[in-house]
Chains A and B, each alone.
Chain A
Amino acid sequence: GAVVSQHPSRVICKSGTSVKIECRSLDFQATTMFWYRQFPKQSLMLMATSNEGSKATYEQGVEKDKFLINHASLTLSTLTVTSAHPEDSSFYICSARDGAGYDEKLFFGSGTQLSVL
């Protein structure tokens, strides 16, 4: 399947700092990428849809000023958690879709475990 690379895999930071997470599609172009958050023993929660060359679309309840998304190219989307606080500690996962029509599938990056002290 398609390869989606996500960095860093783990971040530990102090409260109030900003953290940037990168998501790259390595062997395909992704006009749309998705950012998810997952708390322990819970399912994936879609945070936002990242669209290349335009503004991201955020899900209800997700603060766009706190979770900045930039999709500057067809292979790179970034999520910046601004002024992180302990409640932002979570597993963040990006994904990108490859294929078209019924052959379209979603592939995930390896995830970033964010721990805010």
Chain B
Amino acid sequence: QKEVEQNSGPLSVPEGAIASLNCTYSDRGSQSFFWYRQYSGKSPELIMFIYSNGDKEDGRFTAQLNKASQYVSLLIRDSQPSDSATYLCAVNSLDYKLSFGAGTTVTVRA
């Protein structure tokens, strides 16, 4: 069984701070890793993907992957109120059935 674990939160950070989200996965055969942002009542929106160990930066977002530890994280720098949402970690294995974590709710306080 493929499992993806996330802290459910809520994670509350002040505006301008760094929000750090963590995700662990159980399937060592996982190939690709994704972070989706989901606003309440809306469908998920892809914000980051990573498949190599190390860091990947895109604007205010940085994804970090450590396959040996089966760990992937997302950092949101200079957090804005518009970043308040639920962030879903998704892990893809060879059959491309994404397994999703339960999501971490982030609240950015103005």
Q: Are B45 and A108 in contact (CB under 8 A)?
A: yes
**Residue A42 at the chain B interface, CB threshold 8 Å:** yes
Q: Are B34 and A106 in contact (CB under 8 A)?
A: yes
The answer, among B49, B100, B102, B103, for a CB contact under 8 Å with A105, is B49
Size of chain B's interface in residues, with CB distance under 8 A? 22
Residues of B in contact with A (beta carbons under 8 Å apart): 31-32, 34, 36, 41-46, 49, 51, 88, 90, 92, 96-98, 100-103
Q: Are B102 and A43 in contact (CB under 8 A)?
A: yes
The smallest beta-carbon distance between A87 and chain B, in angstroms, is 20
Q: Are A111 and B46 in contact (CB under 8 A)?
A: no
Q: Are B31 and A102 in contact (CB under 8 A)?
A: yes
Q: Are A110 and B96 in contact (CB under 8 A)?
A: no
Give A12-68 interface residues, CB cut-off 8 Å to B.
32, 34, 42-44, 46, 49
